[in-house]
Amino acid sequence: MSALANHAFAKMNGIGNEIVVIDLRDGSGAVTPDDARAVAAPAGVPYDQLMVLQKPRLAGTEAFVSIYNNDGSESGACGNGMRCVARQSFLGGDKTALTFETRAGLINCWQGPAPELYTVDMGAPKFGWQDIPLAEEFRDTRGIELQIGPIDAPILHTPSVVSMGNPHAIFWVDDVEAYDLAKFGPLLENHPIFPERANITLAHIIDRDHIVMRTWERGAGLTKACGSAACATAVAAARLRRTNRTVHMTLPGGELTIEWRERDDHVLMTGPAELEYEGRFDPALFGAAA
């Protein structure tokens, strides 16, 4: 029987990014890809990311957080999900800052600058083609040779690519609603240039302090919000010298503030996290999956 059968969960929302948080720090078992897919089934608790807290591996950390997409694949980073984890972890305690471990590295989270807001230090971005990763060398990842549509009249072209613990491609457009992202997203996510697939974002720069964006999320699909994509987009725009290093991001689900901190190149994401409801998983979910 799955470790999640009858286990407690919190269904949360990070500006429209649907998040499920599970605490397994009591050593009650582990989550498998089959478990993650079963939770996302229509009879389960549909989500974009499943955040699983496990016993800390490093001294001074609150937990090791495994992150699953709704297709059962694992992700190295999820900014909106980490804000939800931080909110739950701060409840009932006197701590206002915590450190978590993920596949992408250590993530520091703290409460503020207002009680309902949480900041996540997403670490430093990576720009090398091997680090993103890409399947072939591009010396300048501010814009790579990739397009959708006819060679002489491409529909989308020349994305900036960045790693924020997971791969991101950002296409610069004048209107993020003018493209069928549900159609192009899967094609670009699985393009051979991305050996580990990629998150695909359409971004419109309003001015030096404001960007509007939409994202097709790797392993999750069309989403109302993707925190790591917001970070990647803000960084990519600043690299092109089209925005300042602190920008206001408008996503379909809400607003984020992203700061690419100059002193250490770390990317700070600030936004809300909301609890929708709590419950326990129906054991029948996992019996059906098995």
Residue numbers annotated as active site? 78, 226
Determine phi and psi for 89, rounding to 5 degrees: -75, -30
Rounded Cα gap, residues 264 and 269, in angstroms = 15
Distance of CA 98 to the CA centre of its chain: 19
* End-to-end Cα, the chain, rounded Å: 9
Tokens (6 digits) for 241: 């010298």
Tokens (6 digits) for 163: 């790693």
Residue type at 227?
A: G
132 has which bridge partners?
Answer: none
Tokens (6 digits) for 280: 């326990």
DSSP state of 126: B
HSE at residue 96, side-chain half, CA atoms within 13 A, is 7
**Cβ proximity of 41 and 286 under 8 Å:** no
The residue among 264, 244, 181 whose CA lies nearest residue 215 is 181
Residue length of the chain:
290
**Cβ proximity of 134 and 194 under 8 Å:** yes
**Cβ proximity of 168 and 199 under 8 Å:** yes
DSSP state of 57: S
